[in-house]
Amino acid sequence: MDFPDLPLVKVSRRGAKRLKDGHVWVYRSDIVNADGIAPGALVGVLDEREKFLGTALYSSASQIAIRMISKDAVNDLDRLLRKRILDSIAYRERVVRDSDAYRIVFSEADSLPGLIVDRYNDQLSLQVLTQAMDTEAVRRIIVSELVERLQPAAIAERVDPRVRELEQLPARSSRLLEGEKRSTVFSMNGVRFHYEAFEGQKTGAFLDQRENYAASAQYARGEALDAFCYQGGFALHLAEHCSKVTGVDSSRPALEVADRNAALNGREIEWIEANAFDLLRDYASAGQQYDTIVLDPPAFAKSKSNLGTALRGYKELNLRALKMLRPGGILVTCSCSYHVSAGEFLEVVAQAARDTHRNLRIVENRTQAKDHPVLLTVPETAYLKCLVLEVS
């Protein structure tokens, strides 16, 4: 077979099996030969018998040496990238409802490995995670396609310095790639939020929770506590149905935005700057009670090695929340750690139920919003767990 212009990488039997099983990554330890391949190159992938397996993006730095971009031989990367972006946009048009903020491109899950693009109303926020997506040629194509298709008022690039370091990419700062606008207001499920292109965590908001906000709001009532509330995503959604809502976070800047968001929606919410672990412990031992509690902590398990600590953390939080929920109360409990499986998370919450002698009924067993699609054969694309439970 003929692969014009593509340098070739040979992968081991194990690497080839992984690809045949539907994964899109091959680790460095499964690369047989990648001599002379430039960082970020588009490469043809061969098995040990020289059978062609597809086209991939190469990284000279990451343990994930290749990320597949097509099962075919790609001769025109420009065309392929444009088509992938178009497909990503079309998919969101089919699945996103009641929101002008959502993820437009989710890396591997959109066959654009190493690229994240989020939309916040008239603005886009872009993140580049790999050598291949960082080349000037690829950046030009991505930005021009996004501008052509979506006509955003601005495109911001948010840089994670640690990612660039790990990919051995030169340091860059976050900046506008297009346009001048840096702030806007976006809305999800009828709730409005302030957005600042270069402030806050992730690209600004936790868009992956969008559908979980709406789902939780259906069951929420009475007095509610939103622990790890950030800029008030859950709290603001609960406010419509609850008599009183308290949001807790350790980040003052996040709470300042949360307060502005409450004003924007005409809501009265109590914001408390505190370590949520301490606050839940103190409130639980003081006998405080709630009808609705949301737990949405940051990822405790950053790697497999601290899984045990992470599970203890989740158990602790859920235990304290269960102690404070009135009979018939609602617990919304989340984990965004990929390393904690859905099964392990259910088990940890079950342990907390046993320890507190509470019965939990699963009202909804949820995951990330549909604009963060899960590829069935790439387990790493599924990371968010969100359980809505009724406590008796």
> Annotated active-site positions, please?
336
Which helix (H) or strand (E) segment holds residue 350: the answer is helix 342-356
Which helix (H) or strand (E) segment holds residue 354: the answer is helix 342-356
Candidate list 77, 126, 276, 310; residue touching ligand SAH; CB under 6 A: 276
Piece of 56-64, 77-85, 179-187, 270-278 that binds ligand SAH (CB under 6 A): 270-278
Piece of 44-52, 125-133, 271-279, 351-359 that binds ligand SAH (CB under 6 A): 271-279
Give the closest residue to 102 by CA, choosing from 119, 79, 124, 114. 119
Q: Does 338 bind ligand SAH (CB under 6 A)?
A: no
Q: Does 233 bind ligand SAH (CB under 6 A)?
A: yes
Burial of 42 (C-beta count, 10 Å sphere; 0-12/13-18/19+): buried
Q: Is 133 left (phi over 0), alpha (psi -120 to 50) or beta?
A: alpha
Q: Does 44 bind ligand SAH (CB under 6 A)?
A: no
Nearest CB to ligand SAH, comparing residues 27 and 338: 338
Nearest CB to ligand SAH, comparing residues 275 and 285: 275
Write the secondary structure of 272-337 as one string of H (helix), E (strand) and C (coil).
Answer: EECCHHHHHHHHHHCCCCEEEEEECCCCCCCCHHHHHHHHHHHHHHHHHHHHHEEEEEEEEEEECC
Cβ pair 318, 356 in contact under 8 A: no
Would you call 193 helix, strand, or coil by DSSP? strand
Q: Does 277 bind ligand SAH (CB under 6 A)?
A: yes
Q: Does 298 bind ligand SAH (CB under 6 A)?
A: yes
Nearest CB to ligand SAH, comparing residues 106 and 206: 206
* Furthest C-alpha separation in the chain: 73
Q: Does 234 bind ligand SAH (CB under 6 A)?
A: yes
Candidate list 104, 254, 317, 387; residue touching ligand SAH; CB under 6 A: 254
Report d(CA 169, CA 387) in Å as an integer: 39
Nearest CB to ligand SAH, comparing residues 59 and 99: 99
* Residue 208 CB, nearest approach to ligand SAH (Å): 9
Q: Does 229 bind ligand SAH (CB under 6 A)?
A: yes
Rounded to 5°, angle at Cα 107 from 348 and 185: 85
Q: Which residue is nearest to ligand SAH (CB)?
A: 233
Cβ pair 338, 380 in contact under 8 A: yes
Q: Which amino acid is at 286?
A: A
Report d(CA 115, CA 84) in Å as an integer: 11
* Residue 250 CB, nearest approach to ligand SAH (Å): 4
Tell me the number of residues near ligand SAH by CB under 6 A. Answer: 18
Q: DSSP characters for 74-132?
A: PS-HHHHHHHHHHHHHHHHHHH--SBSEEEEEEGGGGT-TTEEEEEETTEEEEEE-SHH
Q: Does 58 bind ligand SAH (CB under 6 A)?
A: no
* Residue 321 CB, nearest approach to ligand SAH (Å): 13
Residues between 139 and 178 that touch ligand SAH (CB under 6 A): none
Candidate list 230, 283, 345, 383; residue touching ligand SAH; CB under 6 A: 230
Piece of 167-175, 180-188, 228-236, 337-345 that binds ligand SAH (CB under 6 A): 228-236
Nearest CB to ligand SAH, comparing residues 298 and 328: 298
Residues that bind ligand SAH in the complex, under the rule CB under 6 A? 206, 209, 228-231, 233-234, 249-251, 254, 275-277, 296-298
